[in-house]
Structure 1
Amino acid sequence: MLTLIGLLTIGSLVLLLLIGRMSPILPLIVVPLLGALAAGFGPEAISGFYTEGLGRVISIATMFVFAITFFGVLQDTGLFRPIINAMVRITRGNVIAVTVATAVIGMLAHLDGAGATTFLLTVPALLPLYKELRMSPYLMLLLLALGAGILNMVPWAGPLGRASAVTGIDVTELWHGLIPVQIFGAVLLVAMAALLGWREKRRIAAATGDVDPGGPVETFGGLQDASAAELELQRPGRIWINAALLLIVIVALFMGVLPAGYIFMIGLSAALLINYPGGKVQMQRIGAHAPSALTMGMIILAAGSMLGIFTGTGMLSSIAQDLVRVLPEPMVPMLHIVLGVFGLPMELVLSTDAYYFGLLPVALEVVGTHGVEPASVVYALTIGNIIGTFISPFSPALWLALGLAGLDLGRHIRYSLWWMWGFSLVLFMVAWGMGLF
């Protein structure tokens, strides 16, 4: 009976997350509560589940609130804009150089882990150049999405935070295992961008009869100018100080000298003092980024209550035990690898929340009975899935990018899916070879 209630609870949760008619916070809180009540647990037991679940994620929620605000403030200062603008200017006129620069720009712009910011920074700057050179804007979006997918493995981006909330493993500890994969992915993306640039150059030549497309562009009007409000916030004279601050924060995270949340607290304090002295303007900058920061923090806290109930009631254990009985015996200890291989196509039918809060807990319970470490399950599912973040129709940031570029989702999926899945599988095999799972 508990298995049936658990399946109905998880199924209802995933369905509501997929439909997207309400904030993910609501189903994460309400659906597990109803499931616990249906299973016969009273207020006292549910209170214990809630307290235990919240204790597992409070540090992660804290990190997200301060990390998102920290990177938002650095974006306000204009730290990343000159780098992106300079690369666009340098590479215009050379198709292969443009594709390589697009890949690098996508990674740099996603350093804050926020997809919306990435596309707001890059699409308006790159789109006129792609049009001038008669390059496909879908190629631009593919390269930006791949670069953002690689950087989406940083601990302050959403996926690792969700996985950390589910497993209880420290988010920076999970990230340390992924750093070599990110480095390999960055190198592979640059090589792939050069290949796609060469292919695009041949396509343009075939379509126009120009044997040397991508010569100097005289009519390119330049980059989209920052608004007056953005210019007022930028601190070009302190760019090196801000860059040093960013480097110190990243090194501190890598070395683990302090808890991640505390590092971002200190980093945010320093960024505000350096760039925006005065209580009023500091509160304005915090307020500007509060919606994104609080939304992510609330999702993590709501997920903590959900996981506390799922674990405390024994639903996950019951589902896993019954699932083991029906799966082919050789497949059970390899379930996380099978799911990882098909992780990217699952982005088309599962939202990030559904993937990490619905699928990951069940996979952990199933393979855990065979001695598979939780970190191995996280790596398999994350690496197999994360590159496809910005091909998913459930990604609000992707819809923003499509709107900025005037592109169609269906065509983006047809253009990018096989390249992204192939790229994901290469990273998956490299991580497997490294012994991450």
Structure 2
Amino acid sequence: MLSILGFSTIILFMFLVMTNLMSAFVAIIVSPILFAVIGGFGNELGSMMLEGIKLVAPTAVLLLFAVLYFGIMMNAGLFDPVSRKILKIAKGDPVKIVIGTAILSLLVALDGDGTTSYMIICSALLPIYKRIGINPLVLATIAVMSLGTISGMTPWGGAATRAISVLGLDSTEYFKPLIPAILCGSAWIILTAYVMGRLERKRIGIIHLEKVEQEMAASQEMAATIAEGKPANSKLIWFNFLLTLALMIALVLGLAPLPILFIVGFVIALSFNHPNLAEQKSVIKENASHAVPVVMLVLGAGIFTGILSETKMVDSMASDLLRIIPDSFGPFFTIIVGLISLPLSFLMSNDAFFFGALPVLAQSASEYGIHPIEIARAGVIGQPLHSMGPTSAPLWVLLELVRRDLGQFQRYALIPVTILSIMFIVFALITGAISIAW
């Protein structure tokens, strides 16, 4: 009975989200409440939901202040000098330009917001691509791979945030072992960019442009204002760079929990970049529009998880799922989850996959002695493919910017993005982010 209620909850949630009958935030709360009431748990719903909210509260705080922090960094033009230097060195060589695109895309993806990242990248580089004659689908492919890697797997990005919150994990414990795999994946993206650049160089040659620097400056000025519609605060570039570097070092060393690190980092960044009180209020209000919807989803995920866990629906579903999987496959369950995440992430929304399927997979894995944190890491491996799938909202912005349709882009990008995702499974195994339970 509990399994039927649990699977019905997940199916209803997926149906409501994928058919756009309800927003993810509404569906993720309505679905478990409905079937919990049907199952006779109505009197206990309040305490169940509160337990779930307590579980995800640290993740909600982390996400809120990470998005606010990187919003300030983007407004301040933290990465502008990097992109200018890349373009100045590249001149008209497609190989250097595409590699530069990869580096800039990986940096900008730290923002966590796909739409803003794509707009900044295209504003900075698309005029150069068009002038030289490089296929804009190269830029789109590299941008999607970078966003799926950085934004999809870092704990302040949307996908990982969902995984951490729905499984009740510590963000620092989740992230630190995954850093080497992310670095390897980033290197693979740069290697892919090199190969794509070589193909474009072979096709069009090296174009020597007299006005590259002028075009570069104009496009960078547009990129600097794209996020908030006003000039970037470029006076504190070095301060912001050192602050961000110190934040990343503290994160890796585990000097404090991630939410605390980003709260402190945000306060410092806000105070130095925007000392005027009225300006601070304006900046917070503008950047909060990116953070609030996802924070709401995290809290909704807490309610979803709290109900499914406290009613024991997840336990019952996991037991039934285990009966289907042969015992000999048990030790390889993290690899199975990583492979499953590729097609499911491509076809499903992140809400449907992480809030619906991942908790059941994690509970099943626990029967083989596999910690849910490894399932969370395996679950995000499909994010590069999700970023090029039809359920990825920022992708439609990117396609509009490069003036290509979905079919053209997917035909061009499917092979390199799939290879990247498969390589992530290899990198995660090699670096210990996921393991085989011998």
State the alpha-carbon separation in 2 of the partners of residues 148 and 158 from structure 1. 11
Q: TM-score, normalization: structure 1?
A: 0.93
What amino acid does structure 1 have at the position aligned with 2:398? A
Match of residue 237, structure 2, among 236, 239, 243: 239
Alignment of 1:155-174 (within 5 A): 155-174=155-174
Q: Which residue of 1 aligns with 2:294?
A: 296
1:232–1:328 CA distance, 2 compared to 1 (3 A): closer
1:82 equivalenced with 2:74 (yes/no): no
Between 1:399-408 and 1:223-232, the stretch displaced more is 223-232
1:20–1:328 CA distance, 2 compared to 1 (3 A): same
Q: Which residue of 2 aligns with 1:260?
A: 258
Q: Which residue of 2 aligns with 1:54?
A: 53
Match of residue 390, structure 1, among 384, 387, 391: 387
What amino acid does structure 1 have at the position aligned with 2:209? V
State the alpha-carbon separation in 1 of the partners of residues 56 and 35 from structure 2. 21
Count of residue correspondences: 427
Deviation at 1:230, TM superposition (A): 5.8
Deviation at 1:38, TM superposition (A): 1.0
1:419 equivalenced with 2:416 (yes/no): yes
Match of residue 357, structure 2, among 356, 359, 366: 359
- For the 8 Å contact 2:192–2:416, the answer to whether it is kept is no
What amino acid does structure 2 have at the position aligned with 1:408? D
Query: Cα RMSD (Å) of the superposition?
Result: 1.9
- For the 8 Å contact 2:93–2:201, the answer to whether it is kept is no
1:59–1:229 CA distance, 2 compared to 1 (3 A): closer
Q: Which residue of 2 aligns with 1:404?
A: 401
Unmatched segments (≥5 aa) in structure 1: 206-212
Deviation at 1:405, TM superposition (A): 1.5
Q: Which residue of 2 aligns with 1:218?
A: 210
State the alpha-carbon separation in 2 of the partners of residues 272 and 348 from structure 1. 37
Q: TM-score, normalization: structure 2?
A: 0.93
- For the 8 Å contact 2:116–2:227, the answer to whether it is kept is no
Match of residue 306, structure 1, among 296, 299, 304: 304
1:199 equivalenced with 2:196 (yes/no): no
- How big is each residue's C-alpha offset from its partner over 1:70-127, in whole Å with a ceiling of 9 and x where there is no partner? 1111111121223223322331310111111111111011122221221111112211
Q: Which residue of 2 aligns with 1:135?
A: 134
Deviation at 1:296, TM superposition (A): 1.2
What amino acid does structure 2 have at the position aligned with 1:78? G
What amino acid does structure 2 have at the position aligned with 1:367? A
Q: Secondary structure at the match of 2:346?
A: coil
Unmatched segments (≥5 aa) in structure 2: none
What amino acid does structure 1 have at the position aligned with 2:56? V
- How big is each residue's C-alpha offset from its partner over 1:14-56, in whole Å with a ceiling of 9 and x where there is no partner? 122222343210011111100100111123x111211111111
Deviation at 1:403, TM superposition (A): 1.4
Q: Secondary structure at the match of 2:67?
A: helix
- For the 8 Å contact 1:116–1:397, the answer to whether it is kept is yes
Between 1:401-410 and 1:304-313, the stretch displaced more is 401-410
What amino acid does structure 1 have at the position aligned with 2:198? W
Q: Which residue of 1 aligns with 2:106?
A: 107
- How big is each residue's C-alpha offset from its partner over 1:236-285, in whole Å with a ceiling of 9 and x where there is no partner? 22111111111122222222222221221111111111111122110000
Q: Which residue of 2 aligns with 1:284?
A: 282
- For the 8 Å contact 1:160–1:174, the answer to whether it is kept is no
State the alpha-carbon separation in 2 of the partners of residues 83 and 259 from structure 1. 29
Q: Secondary structure at the match of 1:40?
A: coil
Deviation at 1:386, TM superposition (A): 2.0
Alignment of 1:83-98 (within 5 A): 83-98=82-97
State the alpha-carbon separation in 2 of the partners of residues 394 and 231 from structure 1. 27
Q: Which residue of 2 aligns with 1:32?
A: 32
State the alpha-carbon separation in 2 of the partners of residues 144 and 232 from structure 1. 24
Q: Secondary structure at the match of 2:305?
A: helix
State the alpha-carbon separation in 1 of the partners of residues 131 and 227 from structure 2. 29
Q: Secondary structure at the match of 2:348?
A: coil
Q: Which residue of 1 aligns with 2:345?
A: 347
